[in-house]
Copies of this chain bind each other. A is one copy, B any other.
Amino acid sequence: MVQAVHRQAEAGREPLTRARILKRALELLDQDGLEALSMRRLAGDLGVSPMALYNHVPNKEALHEGITELVLGEIDISSVASGDHWTDGIKAAVSSFRDVLLRHPNAIQLIQTKPITTPEGFRPIEASLAAIRRAGFDPETAVHVHWAIVGFAMGHVSSQVSNPLQDPEILEQSIEVRRQIFTPEEFPALSESMPYALECDFDAAFDLGLDALLQGLDARLQS
Protein backbone atom coordinates (compact mmCIF):
# COMPACT_ATOMS: atom_id res chain seq x y z
CA MET A 1 0.00 0.00 0.00
CA VAL A 2 2.69 2.45 1.04
CA GLN A 3 4.75 1.28 -1.86
CA ALA A 4 1.81 1.72 -4.23
CA VAL A 5 1.23 5.27 -3.06
CA HIS A 6 4.94 5.92 -3.42
CA ARG A 7 4.97 4.65 -6.97
CA GLN A 8 1.97 6.80 -7.80
CA ALA A 9 3.72 9.86 -6.43
CA GLU A 10 6.80 8.95 -8.42
CA ALA A 11 4.83 8.56 -11.64
CA GLY A 12 2.83 11.67 -10.72
CA ARG A 13 -0.50 10.04 -11.49
CA GLU A 14 -3.14 7.59 -10.28
CA PRO A 15 -3.54 4.23 -11.99
CA LEU A 16 -5.42 4.16 -15.26
CA THR A 17 -8.98 2.86 -14.92
CA ARG A 18 -12.08 2.89 -17.06
CA ALA A 19 -13.79 5.31 -14.68
CA ARG A 20 -10.86 7.74 -14.72
CA ILE A 21 -10.68 7.60 -18.52
CA LEU A 22 -14.42 8.33 -18.89
CA LYS A 23 -14.27 11.15 -16.32
CA ARG A 24 -11.42 12.89 -18.11
CA ALA A 25 -13.03 12.24 -21.50
CA LEU A 26 -16.21 13.99 -20.37
CA GLU A 27 -14.16 16.94 -19.08
CA LEU A 28 -12.38 17.25 -22.42
CA LEU A 29 -15.72 16.98 -24.21
CA ASP A 30 -17.20 19.75 -22.04
CA GLN A 31 -14.17 21.98 -22.60
CA ASP A 32 -13.40 21.58 -26.29
CA GLY A 33 -16.23 19.71 -27.99
CA LEU A 34 -16.64 16.34 -29.64
CA GLU A 35 -14.29 16.99 -32.58
CA ALA A 36 -11.40 17.72 -30.20
CA LEU A 37 -11.95 14.53 -28.18
CA SER A 38 -9.54 12.06 -29.79
CA MET A 39 -8.07 8.90 -28.32
CA ARG A 40 -4.57 10.30 -28.78
CA ARG A 41 -5.33 13.62 -27.09
CA LEU A 42 -7.17 11.91 -24.25
CA ALA A 43 -4.20 9.58 -23.73
CA GLY A 44 -1.72 12.45 -23.79
CA ASP A 45 -3.89 14.32 -21.31
CA LEU A 46 -3.82 11.31 -18.98
CA GLY A 47 -0.03 11.08 -19.37
CA VAL A 48 -0.15 7.72 -21.07
CA SER A 49 0.42 6.09 -24.45
CA PRO A 50 -2.61 6.09 -26.81
CA MET A 51 -2.70 2.31 -26.77
CA ALA A 52 -2.98 2.16 -22.98
CA LEU A 53 -6.60 3.25 -23.28
CA TYR A 54 -7.45 0.10 -25.22
CA ASN A 55 -6.87 -2.01 -22.14
CA HIS A 56 -9.91 -0.39 -20.51
CA VAL A 57 -12.10 0.56 -23.46
CA PRO A 58 -12.40 -1.55 -26.65
CA ASN A 59 -12.63 1.43 -29.04
CA LYS A 60 -13.76 5.01 -29.48
CA GLU A 61 -17.38 3.96 -29.97
CA ALA A 62 -17.35 2.32 -26.54
CA LEU A 63 -15.76 5.44 -25.07
CA HIS A 64 -18.68 7.46 -26.42
CA GLU A 65 -21.18 4.98 -24.99
CA GLY A 66 -19.43 5.18 -21.63
CA ILE A 67 -19.66 8.98 -21.63
CA THR A 68 -23.36 8.68 -22.45
CA GLU A 69 -23.97 6.45 -19.45
CA LEU A 70 -21.91 8.77 -17.24
CA VAL A 71 -24.03 11.76 -18.18
CA LEU A 72 -27.35 9.89 -17.89
CA GLY A 73 -26.24 8.83 -14.41
CA GLU A 74 -26.25 12.47 -13.31
CA ILE A 75 -30.01 12.77 -13.78
CA ASP A 76 -31.84 13.13 -10.46
CA ILE A 77 -34.98 10.97 -10.53
CA SER A 78 -35.50 10.90 -6.77
CA SER A 79 -38.63 13.08 -6.82
CA VAL A 80 -40.32 11.57 -9.86
CA ALA A 81 -43.07 10.14 -7.62
CA SER A 82 -43.59 13.32 -5.61
CA GLY A 83 -46.31 15.96 -5.93
CA ASP A 84 -50.08 15.82 -5.99
CA HIS A 85 -50.38 15.32 -9.72
CA TRP A 86 -48.45 12.95 -12.02
CA THR A 87 -47.15 15.91 -13.99
CA ASP A 88 -45.36 17.29 -10.91
CA GLY A 89 -43.00 14.35 -10.68
CA ILE A 90 -42.41 14.30 -14.43
CA LYS A 91 -41.67 18.02 -14.41
CA ALA A 92 -39.08 17.56 -11.67
CA ALA A 93 -37.34 14.71 -13.48
CA VAL A 94 -37.42 16.45 -16.85
CA SER A 95 -36.00 19.61 -15.26
CA SER A 96 -33.11 17.60 -13.88
CA PHE A 97 -32.61 16.01 -17.30
CA ARG A 98 -32.46 19.47 -18.83
CA ASP A 99 -30.01 20.73 -16.20
CA VAL A 100 -27.70 17.82 -16.94
CA LEU A 101 -27.85 18.44 -20.70
CA LEU A 102 -27.13 22.15 -20.22
CA ARG A 103 -24.15 21.20 -18.05
CA HIS A 104 -22.81 18.94 -20.82
CA PRO A 105 -24.05 20.53 -24.05
CA ASN A 106 -21.48 18.74 -26.20
CA ALA A 107 -22.67 15.37 -24.90
CA ILE A 108 -26.13 15.80 -26.43
CA GLN A 109 -25.06 14.45 -29.83
CA LEU A 110 -23.68 11.35 -28.09
CA ILE A 111 -26.83 10.80 -26.03
CA GLN A 112 -28.89 11.11 -29.19
CA THR A 113 -26.89 8.55 -31.18
CA LYS A 114 -25.26 6.02 -28.83
CA PRO A 115 -27.33 3.10 -27.54
CA ILE A 116 -27.81 2.56 -23.81
CA THR A 117 -26.29 -0.74 -22.68
CA THR A 118 -26.16 -0.67 -18.86
CA PRO A 119 -28.74 -0.61 -16.02
CA GLU A 120 -27.44 2.83 -14.95
CA GLY A 121 -28.45 4.32 -18.27
CA PHE A 122 -31.92 2.78 -18.27
CA ARG A 123 -32.86 3.92 -14.75
CA PRO A 124 -34.16 7.38 -15.76
CA ILE A 125 -36.29 5.79 -18.50
CA GLU A 126 -37.70 3.29 -16.01
CA ALA A 127 -38.61 6.09 -13.61
CA SER A 128 -40.30 8.10 -16.34
CA LEU A 129 -42.24 5.16 -17.76
CA ALA A 130 -43.35 4.04 -14.30
CA ALA A 131 -44.67 7.51 -13.45
CA ILE A 132 -46.57 7.68 -16.75
CA ARG A 133 -48.08 4.23 -16.18
CA ARG A 134 -49.11 5.17 -12.62
CA ALA A 135 -50.88 8.22 -14.05
CA GLY A 136 -53.24 5.84 -15.81
CA PHE A 137 -51.98 5.54 -19.39
CA ASP A 138 -52.14 2.05 -20.90
CA PRO A 139 -48.78 0.39 -21.64
CA GLU A 140 -48.78 1.22 -25.36
CA THR A 141 -49.75 4.86 -24.92
CA ALA A 142 -47.28 5.20 -22.05
CA VAL A 143 -44.41 4.51 -24.45
CA HIS A 144 -45.73 7.19 -26.81
CA VAL A 145 -46.14 9.68 -23.97
CA HIS A 146 -42.61 8.97 -22.80
CA TRP A 147 -41.15 9.61 -26.26
CA ALA A 148 -43.15 12.81 -26.58
CA ILE A 149 -41.77 14.18 -23.32
CA VAL A 150 -38.17 13.05 -23.83
CA GLY A 151 -38.22 14.17 -27.45
CA PHE A 152 -39.44 17.60 -26.47
CA ALA A 153 -36.84 18.00 -23.72
CA MET A 154 -33.89 16.86 -25.81
CA GLY A 155 -34.93 18.78 -28.90
CA HIS A 156 -35.55 21.96 -26.97
CA VAL A 157 -32.19 21.94 -25.20
CA SER A 158 -30.52 21.00 -28.46
CA SER A 159 -32.10 24.01 -30.15
CA GLN A 160 -30.97 26.23 -27.30
CA VAL A 161 -27.31 25.24 -27.14
CA SER A 162 -26.83 25.27 -30.91
CA ASN A 163 -28.46 28.70 -31.27
CA PRO A 164 -25.64 30.97 -32.47
CA LEU A 165 -27.24 33.93 -30.71
CA GLN A 166 -26.47 32.19 -27.41
CA ASP A 167 -22.74 32.10 -28.09
CA PRO A 168 -20.97 35.39 -27.25
CA GLU A 169 -18.07 34.49 -29.55
CA ILE A 170 -20.07 34.38 -32.76
CA LEU A 171 -22.98 36.57 -31.66
CA GLU A 172 -21.97 39.67 -33.60
CA GLN A 173 -21.42 37.99 -36.93
CA SER A 174 -24.67 36.05 -36.51
CA ILE A 175 -26.52 39.32 -35.94
CA GLU A 176 -24.89 40.83 -39.01
CA VAL A 177 -25.83 37.88 -41.23
CA ARG A 178 -29.42 38.07 -40.01
CA ARG A 179 -29.64 41.84 -40.36
CA GLN A 180 -28.77 41.47 -44.03
CA ILE A 181 -31.15 38.60 -44.74
CA PHE A 182 -34.16 39.71 -42.69
CA THR A 183 -35.67 42.38 -44.91
CA PRO A 184 -39.15 43.41 -43.69
CA GLU A 185 -40.56 42.57 -47.14
CA GLU A 186 -39.26 39.01 -47.44
CA PHE A 187 -38.96 38.07 -43.74
CA PRO A 188 -41.51 40.18 -41.85
CA ALA A 189 -41.97 37.79 -38.92
CA LEU A 190 -38.25 37.18 -38.42
CA SER A 191 -37.30 40.85 -38.62
CA GLU A 192 -40.04 41.71 -36.15
CA SER A 193 -38.92 38.99 -33.73
CA MET A 194 -35.16 39.71 -33.93
CA PRO A 195 -35.00 41.68 -30.65
CA TYR A 196 -36.99 38.98 -28.85
CA ALA A 197 -34.92 36.17 -30.33
CA LEU A 198 -31.77 37.93 -29.12
CA GLU A 199 -32.78 38.07 -25.47
CA CYS A 200 -34.86 34.89 -25.61
CA ASP A 201 -35.45 33.39 -22.16
CA PHE A 202 -35.02 29.70 -22.90
CA ASP A 203 -35.95 28.71 -19.36
CA ALA A 204 -39.34 30.38 -19.82
CA ALA A 205 -39.68 28.95 -23.33
CA PHE A 206 -38.99 25.45 -22.02
CA ASP A 207 -41.51 25.83 -19.21
CA LEU A 208 -44.17 27.11 -21.60
CA GLY A 209 -43.70 24.19 -23.96
CA LEU A 210 -43.46 21.53 -21.26
CA ASP A 211 -46.53 22.82 -19.43
CA ALA A 212 -48.49 22.94 -22.66
CA LEU A 213 -47.42 19.43 -23.62
CA LEU A 214 -48.20 17.95 -20.20
CA GLN A 215 -51.56 19.72 -20.10
CA GLY A 216 -52.42 18.34 -23.51
CA LEU A 217 -51.31 14.83 -22.52
CA ASP A 218 -53.24 15.01 -19.25
CA ALA A 219 -56.38 15.93 -21.19
CA ARG A 220 -56.10 12.60 -23.04
CA LEU A 221 -56.25 10.87 -19.66
CA GLN A 222 -59.65 12.30 -18.67
CA SER A 223 -61.48 11.25 -21.82
Contacts and interface: CB of A to CB of B under 8 A. Distances in A.
Contacts of A197: 143
Interface in A97-120: 108-109, 112-115, 117-119
A220 B212 contact: yes
Interface stretch (A9-17, A24-32, A43-51, A186-194): A186-194
A148 B112 contact: no
Interface residues of A, number: 69
A156 interface: yes
Contacts of A152: 148, 151-152, 155-156, 209, 213
Contacts of A36: none
Nearest to A182: B122
20 contacts: A109-B112, A113-B162, A122-B182, A122-B187, A122-B190, A126-B186, A129-B190, A129-B193, A133-B192, A139-B192, A141-B208, A142-B196, A143-B196, A143-B205, A151-B152, A152-B155, A155-B158, A208-B220, A209-B217, A215-B219
List of 10 A-B pairs having minimum Cβ-Cβ separation, nearest first: A155-B155, A148-B209, A212-B216, A151-B156, A144-B205, A151-B155, A216-B216, A129-B189, A130-B189, A215-B216
